Structure 1
Amino acid sequence: MNSLIKNKLSFMMFLEFFIWGAWFVTLGTFLNINLKAEGFEIANVFSTQSLGAIIAPFIVGMIADRYFNAERILGVLHLVGAFLMYQMYQAQDYSGFYPYVLSYMILYMPTLALTSSISFRQMLNPEKEFSGIRIWGTIGWIAAGLSISYLFKWDASASEGALSNTFLMAGIASLTLGLFSFILPKTPPVKSNDGEKASFASIVGLDAVKLLKDRNFFIFFISSVLICIPLAFYYQNANLFLTEVGLENPTGKMTIGQVSEVLFLLLLPVFFSKFGFKKTILVGMLAWAVRYLLFAYGNAGELSFMLILGIALHGICYDFFFVSGQIYTDSKAGEKYKSAAQGLITLATYGVGQLIGFWVAGFIENKYKDLKGTDLAGFWEQTWIVPAGIAFVVMLIFLVFFKDEKVKSAE
């Protein structure tokens, strides 16, 4: 890959995740403070990510992978996304905000697959080259969080409604990426070896359903769905929690999680080869439970280190479960079903699993909302104990029912 293409793909990844990190991290706080949303209203907004993840394969499968160049679809989606971001910036209440965020997420989630597809098509050795491109996405997310906390100080002025500016920032970045996409390398629809375009069933992951006949893969699949319930609690509540308990510069400090993600991604192959898949994924599940217990019993004063440690565990939580899970899925699928299997797991986790998780998080908030006015610490303690318990139960299910096996592609 020549340096010009590499730089273009890196900038594409930077903007792609800068856009997401610019508004999604502080979304819960914005909804609570700016729009006075509660419980299931907040859950419904966050659920748009899952609905977008469910619909995304159909958009990519029916349009991008069949009829049009991926870079053109990416450009159009981000240009429309910029308009929707501006509408979200102007929204004054939940009812005026929800239609735009739903429309936006239905359009944004397919761009995650499109950016990967555009990148892979330019690479001769994706195993070595992709990480160098993808890491710019993480840098983009970190840059967005640091900008909110330390450059613009919007989360310090959250009570004054300053977080609405995050949508304007994301909209400008979306407009930039939309225009930039049209000068990305041409990425036309892919045809199979026999000249036929990939089947729709393969694109959306339906061809991989037969893998569920394998007992181990079935247990992994169910565990993947269930572990996304506590994951949804983090996305929906973490920034609001850190803001309400008084942690300074919460959005900037949450970028520690992305730094941790990069570090543990580098450590994952070593851990994987030494301890195997089952132990690796169990450590990831345990980290979710520990993280939420740290949130439940930490505070922004003398125990603030517990909150920082909980954020820093993100690398283990995400990499040791989701990345190792992708490796496992790849090894189980075989050459024929690799793409379909990854599509199935993505649909199950970001789609179904997190959709359930956001609703459960909304239910828990409603259940304990009376505590919030009288005992804020008690409210958050009860809120975080629930996902800690769920993660621990999922870990036990996986420990008991999953039989250890060697994962060849990880060696």
Structure 2
Amino acid sequence: MNKFIQFQLSLLMFLEFFIWGGWFVTMGIYLPNSLNTSGGEIAMAYSTQSWGAIIAPFIIGLIADRFFNAERILGVLHLIGAVLMYQMANATDFSVFYPYVLGYMIAYMPTLALVNSVSFNQMTDPAKQFSFVRVFGTIGWIIAGLVISYVFHWDSTEGVANGMLKNTFLMTAIASAILGIFSFTLPKTPPKVGKDQKVTISDILGLDAIKLLKDKNFLIFFLASILICIPLAFYYQHAGQFLGEIGVANPAAKMTIGQISEVLFMLLLPFFFKKFGFKKTILVGMLAWTVRYLLFAYGNSGELAFMLIVGIALHGICYDFFFVSGQIYTDSKAGAKFKSAAQGLITLATYGLGMLIGFYVAGKITDTNLISEGQHNWNSIWIFPAIFAAAVMILFAVFFKNEKIEYKES
């Protein structure tokens, strides 16, 4: 691959995930402190990710794949995102903030597929080349958290009290505008299918892969994937709020430990997968969710702060050992004809349905455990996802029959 194009694609990934990491983690701190939101309202804000994930296939399948170059749609969506993010920064009430964040996620979620399309279109050997480009996305997410905490101190106790987290939305708006303009300089990525070629709703949503659910093992995995996203939503929605509320310094920076862990455990996954197989690998991922939330439940910002750090660092096992292993398993079960449809179905089930339920449940439980304004009983809050993840793990261990799945290294 041309070195200049590789640089362009790496910068594309860096900005794409710098944008996401620049506001999504700290929104849980910003909303209750600046807009006086309840747990239910925080859940509404985070669930826009799920609505975006549900709507994204329609934007990709009905527009991007048929009428316009991917890089042009990418540019337009990020420019729209820049405007919406600026509006979010200036919203003074949640009723004003919510329509903007919903619109933003509807615009942003399709870009995750578009950056992959642009990248794959330029690669001669995606299996070997993509990881070296995609890693810059993780670096972008990490840099965003470090900038918030250590450069500008927006998430410090003083910064939160003074409403400085508003600047995360302004920073993201600027980054979105830069990426929007930059996208028009990317190599051309023409539509995949002709304008007149028939595309059904079933094609777009990956519903052709539903027949895979006739396989009992895949059905159990599919249901487990939806259920495990309920405790996952607690982490995305409330971990930042939790760390800030109990007085942990630089929560945005500390949350990046999870992304660093994700990279490290991704490297360990092939070894673990080959040695122990799919079922044990995914069970370890589920166990990590339970352990993480127990650490959150009983750790604190004082002498037991190390428990919180370990809990965050478990993100690599939680995510890689379940979700990445699950993608490999889905790929192996689908066969050549339904590979894309199967991955689309799993994405719709997890980031769409599963996390939509999870965000709602997390908001309700958090509101139930409100002690006083700005103070929650976090021990009780974290115990719920710990028990829930353990229950999913036990059910999966009992009902899923072990089968040999080959790990194909990329």
Which amino acid in the other structure matches residue 215 of structure 1? K
The residue that corresponds to 2:163 in the other structure is 161
CA–CA distance in structure 2, aligned partners of residues 351 and 254 of structure 1: 23
For the pair 1:141 / 2:141, whether they are aligned, the reply is yes
The Cα of 1:410 is off from its aligned counterpart by 3.9
The Cα of 1:204 is off from its aligned counterpart by 2.1
The residue that corresponds to 1:84 in the other structure is 84
The residue that corresponds to 2:172 in the other structure is 170
Which amino acid in the other structure matches residue 277 of structure 1? F
- SS for the counterpart of 1:408 is coil
- SS for the counterpart of 2:176 is helix
Which amino acid in the other structure matches residue 191 of structure 2? P
The residue that corresponds to 1:390 in the other structure is 388
CA–CA distance in structure 1, aligned partners of residues 37 and 148 of structure 2: 22
For the pair 1:185 / 2:187, whether they are aligned, the reply is yes
CA–CA distance in structure 1, aligned partners of residues 92 and 189 of structure 2: 40
What is the number of residues matched between the two proteins? 406
Q: CA RMSD in A?
A: 1.5
The Cα of 1:8 is off from its aligned counterpart by 0.5
Matches within 5 A, 1:228-247: 228-247=229-248
The residue that corresponds to 1:215 in the other structure is 216
- SS for the counterpart of 1:23 is coil
Pick which of 118-127 and 174-183 moved more.
Answer: 118-127
Which amino acid in the other structure matches residue 187 of structure 2? P
CA–CA distance in structure 1, aligned partners of residues 408 and 227 of structure 2: 24
The residue that corresponds to 1:380 in the other structure is 378
Distance of aligned partners of 1:375 and 1:198 in 2 relative to their CA distance in 1, 3 Å threshold:
closer
Q: Is the 8 A contact 1:43 1:362 kept in 2?
A: yes
Q: Is the 8 A contact 2:245 2:375 kept in 1?
A: no
Deviations 1:76-96 (A, max 9, x none): 000000000000010001011
The Cα of 1:197 is off from its aligned counterpart by 7.0
The Cα of 1:198 is off from its aligned counterpart by 6.2
Q: Is the 8 A contact 2:221 2:396 kept in 1?
A: yes
Distance of aligned partners of 1:10 and 1:251 in 2 relative to their CA distance in 1, 3 Å threshold:
same
Q: Is the 8 A contact 1:16 1:137 kept in 2?
A: yes
The Cα of 1:9 is off from its aligned counterpart by 0.5
TM-score (norm 2): 0.97
CA–CA distance in structure 2, aligned partners of residues 265 and 172 of structure 1: 31
The Cα of 1:409 is off from its aligned counterpart by 4.5
For the pair 1:408 / 2:406, whether they are aligned, the reply is yes
The Cα of 1:238 is off from its aligned counterpart by 0.3
- SS for the counterpart of 2:248 is coil
Q: Is the 8 A contact 1:364 1:383 kept in 2?
A: yes
CA–CA distance in structure 2, aligned partners of residues 288 and 36 of structure 1: 29
The Cα of 1:408 is off from its aligned counterpart by 2.8
Q: Is the 8 A contact 2:245 2:374 kept in 1?
A: no
The residue that corresponds to 1:50 in the other structure is 50
CA–CA distance in structure 2, aligned partners of residues 243 and 341 of structure 1: 39
CA–CA distance in structure 1, aligned partners of residues 112 and 49 of structure 2: 12
Deviations 1:99-124 (A, max 9, x none): 00000001100000111111111112
The Cα of 1:200 is off from its aligned counterpart by 4.8
The Cα of 1:199 is off from its aligned counterpart by 5.3
CA–CA distance in structure 1, aligned partners of residues 184 and 374 of structure 2: 54
The residue that corresponds to 2:23 in the other structure is 23
Q: Is the 8 A contact 1:273 1:410 kept in 2?
A: no
Deviations 1:114-141 (A, max 9, x none): 1111111111211111111110000000
Deviations 1:257-276 (A, max 9, x none): 00000000000001000000
CA–CA distance in structure 2, aligned partners of residues 183 and 82 of structure 1: 18
Deviations 1:334-375 (A, max 9, x none): 111111111000000000000000000011012111x24597
The residue that corresponds to 2:70 in the other structure is 70
Deviations 1:296-341 (A, max 9, x none): 0000100000000000000000000001111111111111111111
Q: Is the 8 A contact 2:32 2:374 kept in 1?
A: no
The residue that corresponds to 1:32 in the other structure is 32
CA–CA distance in structure 2, aligned partners of residues 198 and 127 of structure 1: 28
The residue that corresponds to 2:307 in the other structure is 306
Overall identity of the aligned pairs, in %: 68
Q: Is the 8 A contact 1:228 1:357 kept in 2?
A: yes
CA–CA distance in structure 2, aligned partners of residues 148 and 36 of structure 1: 21
Distance of aligned partners of 1:399 and 1:154 in 2 relative to their CA distance in 1, 3 Å threshold:
same
CA–CA distance in structure 1, aligned partners of residues 374 and 51 of structure 2: 35
CA–CA distance in structure 2, aligned partners of residues 202 and 185 of structure 1: 27
Q: Is the 8 A contact 1:62 1:200 kept in 2?
A: no
Q: Is the 8 A contact 2:274 2:407 kept in 1?
A: no
The residue that corresponds to 1:290 in the other structure is 291
CA–CA distance in structure 2, aligned partners of residues 31 and 92 of structure 1: 10
- SS for the counterpart of 2:369 is helix
CA–CA distance in structure 2, aligned partners of residues 375 and 37 of structure 1: 13
CA–CA distance in structure 2, aligned partners of residues 171 and 353 of structure 1: 29
Q: Which ranges of structure 2 fall in alignment gaps of 5 or more residues? A: none
Which amino acid in the other structure matches residue 257 of structure 2? I
Q: Is the 8 A contact 1:118 1:185 kept in 2?
A: yes
CA–CA distance in structure 2, aligned partners of residues 409 and 49 of structure 1: 30
Distance of aligned partners of 1:404 and 1:85 in 2 relative to their CA distance in 1, 3 Å threshold:
same
CA–CA distance in structure 2, aligned partners of residues 66 and 215 of structure 1: 36
Q: Is the 8 A contact 2:65 2:193 kept in 1?
A: no
Q: Is the 8 A contact 2:62 2:199 kept in 1?
A: no
CA–CA distance in structure 1, aligned partners of residues 374 and 70 of structure 2: 52
Distance of aligned partners of 1:256 and 1:226 in 2 relative to their CA distance in 1, 3 Å threshold:
same
- SS for the counterpart of 2:165 is helix
CA–CA distance in structure 2, aligned partners of residues 342 and 375 of structure 1: 40
CA–CA distance in structure 1, aligned partners of residues 19 and 373 of structure 2: 34
